[in-house]
């Protein structure tokens, strides 16, 4: 039943992606095929496991090599089609601009539209002189202005976008900065009708750095995470560390392993943010006795240039931390043998589809015993993957929520957040930790990330495929094996 349900869900996702790609013609289909090719090895791998067919490491590597080659070939076809489409759009743009210039020349003597078309100046928070200067930066070659609407502390400008959003934003921003310095920020965003609008807001609305109190809280939470990771090590070894602090040398490797995954995660964010010249605030770690930490809440301290930057910064943390945790897991499984010194029940491998299947591939029949001796790195790797997967949940300002927002937009990200909270609520009937994490999301992380300066340009198809792959791996890490599937894998005999 579980296998059939998994296949139905996988086919449903593929069908949804195909329907979404079909309106874009050949380019859309090629982009969809890239996603399919990238996910196919994992789907095939777990599908074969469900059928009782076990692939060794050589077979897994062959699957990934073949899929990578096909992915690269499709990418070349996609770039070729994209270049042809851009050439057609450029030709159409020239024709439209020529027609518009003719219309402009024929209407130069026309009377000025009544002032009632624009809202009264006093309803706009921006000073009149600044407003007129801002309006002067728009033109037929960038953004053809048609309407001005007051919005919060700034103004929404409706009109027609000329050219590519990134190039247009660069031109408008350069003009705005040249005229009014650093006092205003210009955003290109799609409105509720999915039409481009320009929004200008005072720079005083930019993200703020942490206050002294918030900085101290960040430091206190990090210290608490260190304390919690030491206690986690004691729990794994079967004793209370704070009742026996003299045994610190025993728990220290576990604490350092957990902290290593967390710090690698944050370092990944920091390196990606530095590439885009985006500032990050200090992270707020969330300590817990069970696994040391649930990860960290990291806020942006400056505006993001575009959705690609949001994706790259969001995804860099899980990739960095996940690779460290995955490396620990693989190394631990390879080093596991009788006498490894760390004993776990076979049910340990049923807690995760990914961990259970990898253990079956690498350790073979050793996991058929009721008690399995493993290297401690296996446990550390599993904990690290769980922490990483929790942060990849597609909700709010979690890394997964930011990935969904970057690829599909704010509306889809909001819906994904609601769905994630509902799923966590249902999961809390089995695992109370799910309810705890749902509360954390609702209280601290439920809102989407604030818009980028350029919200119109979507990340490329390769990033979209990587995002789907990461979300897929998140599910395989957090979703446990059913008893029937564990039996087919031979876990616990």
Average pLDDT of the chain to the nearest whole number? 79
Residues, the chain: 493
Please tell me the predicted confidence (pLDDT) of residue 124.
63
Range scoring the smallest mean pLDDT among 28-37, 62-71, 161-170, 195-204: 62-71
Are both 78 and 32 inside the same structural domain?
yes
Residue 472 lies in a domain: yes
Beta-strand pair 196-202/154-161: antiparallel
Q: How many CB atoms lie within 10 A of CB 149?
A: 15
Averaged over 168-193, what is the pLDDT? 88
Give the CATH number of the domain where residue 151 resides: 3.30.980
Are both 77 and 192 inside the same structural domain?
no
Please tell me the predicted confidence (pLDDT) of residue 441.
73
Are both 22 and 55 inside the same structural domain?
yes
Averaged over 375-396, what is the pLDDT? 89
User: If pLDDT is split at 50, 70 and 90, which confidence band does 60 have?
Assistant: low
Q: Domain boundary at 157, 187, 205, which?
A: 205
- Asked if pLDDT for residue 106 goes beyond 50, the answer is no
Report CA 101 to chain centroid distance, whole Å: 43
User: If pLDDT is split at 50, 70 and 90, which confidence band does 469 have?
Assistant: confident
User: If pLDDT is split at 50, 70 and 90, which confidence band does 7 have?
Assistant: low
Q: Domain boundary at 81, 104, 127, which?
A: 104
Averaged over 16-45, what is the pLDDT? 72
Range scoring the smallest mean pLDDT among 6-15, 224-233, 241-250, 371-380: 6-15
Q: How many CB atoms lie within 10 A of CB 171?
A: 16
Q: What percent of the chain has pLDDT over 90?
A: 15
| Of residues 2 and 84, more confidently modeled | 84
Please tell me the predicted confidence (pLDDT) of residue 306.
92
Burial of residue 16 (CB within 10 Å: 0-12, 13-18, 19+) is exposed
Pick the closest to residue 118 from 152, 158, 154 (CA basis): 158
Residue 109 lies in a domain: no
Are both 233 and 198 inside the same structural domain?
no
pLDDT tens digits, one per residue of 64-99: 667 767 767 776 776 676 666 655 554 554 454 455
- Asked if pLDDT for residue 115 goes beyond 50, the answer is no
Task: Identify the sign of the CA torsion 357, 358, 359, 364.
Answer: positive
Are both 408 and 481 inside the same structural domain?
yes
Are both 252 and 366 inside the same structural domain?
yes
Q: How many domains does the chain have?
A: 3
Dihedral (C-alpha) 274, 276, 277, 282: value to the nearest 10 degrees? -50
User: If pLDDT is split at 50, 70 and 90, which confidence band does 120 have?
Assistant: very low
- Asked if pLDDT for residue 480 goes beyond 60, the answer is yes
Are both 155 and 31 inside the same structural domain?
no
pLDDT tens digits, one per residue of 279-303: 999 998 888 877 888 888 889 999 9
Are both 125 and 100 inside the same structural domain?
no
Residue 13 lies in a domain: yes
**How much is the pTM?**
0.74
Residue 462, CA atoms < 13 Å, CB-side half-sphere: 11
pLDDT tens digits, one per residue of 387-413: 899 889 888 888 999 999 998 888 888
Residue 14 lies in a domain: yes
pLDDT tens digits, one per residue of 310-326: 999 999 999 999 999 99
- Asked if pLDDT for residue 445 goes beyond 50, the answer is yes
Reading the block at residue 259, the tokens are 């902290």
Residue 358 lies in a domain: yes
Are both 434 and 465 inside the same structural domain?
yes
Q: Domain boundary at 205, 226, 242, which?
A: 205
Are both 369 and 406 inside the same structural domain?
yes
Residue 63 lies in a domain: yes
| Of residues 378 and 347, more confidently modeled | 378
- Convert the chain into a string of H (helix), E (strand) and C (coil): CHHHHHHHHHHHHHHHHHHHHHHHHHHHHHHHHHHHHHHHHHHHHHHHHHCCCCCCHHHHHHHHHHHHHHHHHHHHHHHHHHHHHHHHHHHHHHHHHHHHHHHHHHCCCCCCCCHHHCCCHHHCCCCHHHHHHHHHCCCCCCEEEEEEEEECCEEEEEEEECCCHHHHHHHHHHHHHHHHCCCEEEEEEECCCCCEEEEEEEHHHCCCCCCHHHHHHHHHHHHHHHHHHHHHHHHHHCCCHHHCHHHHHHHHHHHHHHHHHHHHHHHHHHHHHHHCCCCECCCEEEEECCCEEEEEECCECCCCCEHHHHHHHHHHHHHHHHHHHHHHHHHHHHHCCCCCCEEEEHHHHHHCHHHHHHHHHHHHHHHHCCEEEECHHHHHHHHHHHHHHHHCCCCCCCHHHHHHHHHHCHHHHHHHHHHHHHHHHHHCCCCHHHHHHHHHHHHHHCCCCCCCCECCCCCCHHHHHHHHHHHHHHHHHHCCCCHHHHHHHCCCC
Are both 223 and 288 inside the same structural domain?
yes
User: If pLDDT is split at 50, 70 and 90, which confidence band does 246 have?
Assistant: confident
Averaged over 249-260, what is the pLDDT? 89
Please tell me the predicted confidence (pLDDT) of residue 94.
47
Averaged over 32-51, what is the pLDDT? 67
User: If pLDDT is split at 50, 70 and 90, which confidence band does 22 have?
Assistant: confident
Residue 303 lies in a domain: yes
Pick the closest to residue 302 from 205, 203, 406, 207 (CA basis): 207
Are both 156 and 234 inside the same structural domain?
no
Residue 110 lies in a domain: no
Domain of residue 19 covers 2-104
Averaged over 219-246, what is the pLDDT? 86
Residue 153 to residue 290: CA distance in whole angstroms: 46
């Amino acid at each position: 039943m579980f296998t059939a349900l998994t296949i139905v869900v996988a086919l449903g996702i593929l069908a949804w992606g195909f329907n979404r790609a079909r309106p874009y013609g050949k380019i859309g289909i090629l982009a969809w095929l890239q996603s399919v090719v990238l996910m196919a090895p994992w789907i095939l791998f777990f599908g074969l496991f469900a059928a009782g067919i076990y692939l060794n490491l050589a077979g897994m590597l062959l699957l990934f090599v073949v899929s990578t080659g096909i992915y690269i070939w499709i990418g070349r076809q996609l770039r070729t089609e994209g270049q042809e489409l851009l050439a057609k759009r450029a030709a159409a743009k020239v024709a439209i601009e020529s027609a518009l210039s003719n219309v402009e020349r024929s209407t130069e003597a026309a009377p000025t539209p009544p002032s009632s078309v624009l809202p009264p100046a006093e309803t706009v928070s921006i000073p009149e002189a600044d407003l007129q200067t801002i309006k002067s930066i728009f033109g037929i070659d960038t953004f053809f202005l048609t309407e001005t609407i007051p919005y919060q502390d700034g103004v929404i400008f409706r009109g027609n976008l000329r050219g590519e959003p990134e190039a247009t934003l660069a031109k408008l921003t350069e003009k705005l900065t040249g005229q009014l310095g650093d006092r205003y920020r210009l955003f290109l965003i799609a409105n509720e009708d999915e039409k481009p609008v320009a929004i200008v807001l005072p720079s005083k609305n930019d993200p703020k750095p942490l206050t002294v109190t918030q900085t101290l809280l960040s430091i206190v939470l990090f210290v608490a995470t260190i304390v919690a990771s030491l206690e986690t090590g004691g729990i794994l070894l079967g004793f209370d560390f704070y009742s026996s602090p003299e045994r610190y040398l025993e728990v220290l490797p576990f604490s350092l392993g957990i902290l290593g995954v967390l710090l690698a995660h944050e370092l990944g964010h920091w390196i990606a943010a530095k590439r885009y010249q985006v500032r990050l605030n200090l992270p707020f770690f969330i300590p817990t006795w069970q696994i040391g930490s649930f990860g960290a809440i990291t806020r942006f301290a400056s505006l993001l240039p575009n959705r690609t930057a949001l994706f790259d910064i969001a995804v860099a943390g899980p990739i960095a931390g996940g690779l460290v945790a995955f490396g620990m897991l693989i190394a631990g499984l390879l080093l596991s043998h009788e006498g490894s010194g760390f004993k776990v029940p076979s049910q340990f491998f049923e807690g995760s589809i990914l961990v259970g299947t990898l253990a079956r591939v690498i350790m073979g029949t050793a996991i058929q015993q009721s008690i399995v001796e493993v290297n401690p790195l296996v446990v550390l790797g599993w904990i690290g993957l769980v922490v990483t997967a929790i942060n990849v949940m597609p909700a709010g300002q979690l890394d997964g929520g930011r990935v969904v927002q970057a690829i599909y937009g704010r509306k889809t990200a909001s819906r994904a957040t609601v769905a994630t909270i509902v799923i966590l609520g249902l999961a809390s009937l089995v695992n109370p930790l799910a309810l705890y994490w749902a509360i954390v999301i609702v209280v601290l992380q439920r809102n989407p990330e604030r818009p980028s300066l350029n919200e119109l340009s979507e990340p490329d198809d390769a990033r979209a495929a990587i995002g789907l792959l990461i979300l897929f791996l998140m599910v395989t890490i957090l979703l446990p094996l059913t008893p029937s599937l564990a039996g087919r894998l031979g876990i616990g005999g």
